[in-house]
């Protein structure tokens, strides 16, 4: 029988991990109550509300809260055609767990064909312009289609996520689409988020266990090092202020509650 030795790589960088520190059960309950009230207030003010879920941690928390309030908020996810298999599988797991329908919205074949003809299948690696063109075809246009007829929509954005999100508010005007947008977790910290997930025993995206704090399309997302910005793994080949895809552009603040 041969011996198997574990090779130690002292120079290998430590990756981001799910925070071990938690807030108390009482604090989680308080956070949960505030979130519930926010969702109830939104449901009372608007008729057709839609929530774009990426199946990452923030969106799992919102999905859990939405189902517990029995609100009329409709869920959808953008299947860009380049998602990790784990994301696609988790969508079914979440649908089955909560007995809900998550609408899948895909890009048009014509838009994808046009992008590939101009830039190539992986042309987004060549710079900011092709990256934006790919996101427009695979994410922004499908989002626009998914929000047609809605008078409000929700995202899982948090201020603590990145330097580009530090000024987001609970309620904003989506000037691009002419509707109201809400960020119910805008003031939640990473510790708040993961404490809720652990206390409520929610499903966790498998990539969160592999150093991915933020999850997007498979070729455009990678693990991040411990201590890095949690969106550093998104479009890592571009400069630091290119960590957005355009889904949340042109949002005008209304209030912080």
- The pLDDT-based confidence of 166 (bands split at 50, 70, 90) is confident
Least confidently predicted of 10-19, 20-29, 86-95: 10-19
Core vs surface per residue 95-128: b (16+ CB within 10 A) or e: eeebeeebeebebeeebbeebeeebeeebbeeee
Three-state secondary structure call for residue 171: strand
Q: How many CB atoms lie within 10 A of CB 187?
A: 17
pLDDT, average across residues 115-120:
97
- The confidence score (pLDDT) of residue 3 equals 34
What's the predicted TM-score (pTM) here? 0.89
Mean pLDDT along residues 19-45: 97
In sign, the C-alpha dihedral spanning 166, 235, 237, 250 is negative
What integer pLDDT is reported at residue 9 of this predicted model?
A: 47
- Structural domains of the chain, count: 1
Rounded CA separation 9/180 (Å)? 50
In a domain? residue 7 = no
Residue bearing the bigger pLDDT, 229 or 173: 173
Q: What pLDDT was estimated at residue 247? A: 54
pLDDT higher than threshold 90 for residue 88: yes
Cα angle 41-47-49, degrees, rounded to a multiple of 5: 75
Top-confidence residue, 133 or 5: 133
> Is 14 among the domain residues?
no
Q: CA-based angle 67:69:70, to the nearest 5?
A: 65
| Residue 53 placed within a domain | yes
Q: Is 1 inside any structural domain?
A: no
For 79, the domain range is 25-251
Q: Is 234 helix (H, G, I), strand (E, B) or coil?
A: strand
- Positions marked active-site: 245
pLDDT 10s digits, 181-221: 999 999 999 999 999 999 999 999 999 999 999 999 999 99
In a domain, 98, yes or no: yes
Domain contains 16: no
pLDDT tens-digit map of 228-247: 888 888 888 887 565 555 55
Q: Check: CB of residue 76 under 8 Å from CB of residue 50.
A: yes
Beta strands across the sheet bearing 251-255:
102-105, 74-78, 49-52, 152-154, 179-182, 171-174, 251-255
Instruction: In whole angstroms, give the CA distance from residue 100 to residue 61.
Output: 15
Q: Tell whether 204 is covered by a domain.
A: yes
Which CATH number is 110's domain given? Answer: 3.40.50.620
Taking 80 as the threshold, does the pLDDT of residue 26 lie above it? yes
Residue-wise pLDDT for 49-69, tens only, equals: 999 999 999 999 999 999 999
DSSP element (H, E) containing 252: strand 251-255
The answer to whether residue 6 is domain-embedded is no
pLDDT of residue 71: 83
């Amino acid at each position: 029988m041969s011996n198997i030795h574990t090779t130690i790589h002292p120079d290998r960088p430590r990756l981001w991990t799910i925070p071990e520190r938690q807030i108390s059960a009482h604090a989680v309950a308080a956070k949960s109550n505030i979130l519930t009230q926010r969702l109830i207030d939104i449901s009372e003010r608007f008729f057709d509300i839609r929530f774009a879920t990426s199946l990452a941690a923030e969106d799992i928390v919102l999905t859990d809260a939405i189902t517990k309030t029995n609100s009329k908020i409709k869920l959808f996810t953008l299947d860009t055609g380049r998602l990790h298999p784990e994301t696609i599988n988790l969508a079914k797991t979440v649908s089955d767990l909560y007995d809900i329908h998550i609408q899948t919205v895909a890009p048009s074949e014509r838009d994808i064909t046009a992008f590939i003809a101009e830039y190539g299948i992986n042309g987004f690696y060549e710079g900011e312009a092709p990256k934006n063109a790919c996101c427009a075809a695979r994410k922004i246009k499908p989002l626009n289609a998914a929000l047609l007829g809605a008078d409000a929509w929700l995202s899982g954005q948090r201020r603590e996520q990145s330097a580009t999100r530090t000024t987001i508010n609970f309620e904003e005007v989506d000037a691009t689409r002419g509707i109201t947008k809400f960020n119910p977790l805008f003031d939640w910290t990473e510790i708040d988020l993961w404490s809720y997930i652990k206390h409520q025993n929610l499903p966790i995206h498998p990539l969160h266990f592999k150093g991915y704090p933020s999850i997007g399309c498979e070729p455009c997302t990678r693990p991040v090092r411990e201590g890095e910005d949690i969106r550093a793994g998104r479009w890592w080949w571009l400069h630091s202020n290119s960590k957005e895809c355009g889904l949340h552009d042109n949002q005008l603040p209304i209030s912080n509650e």
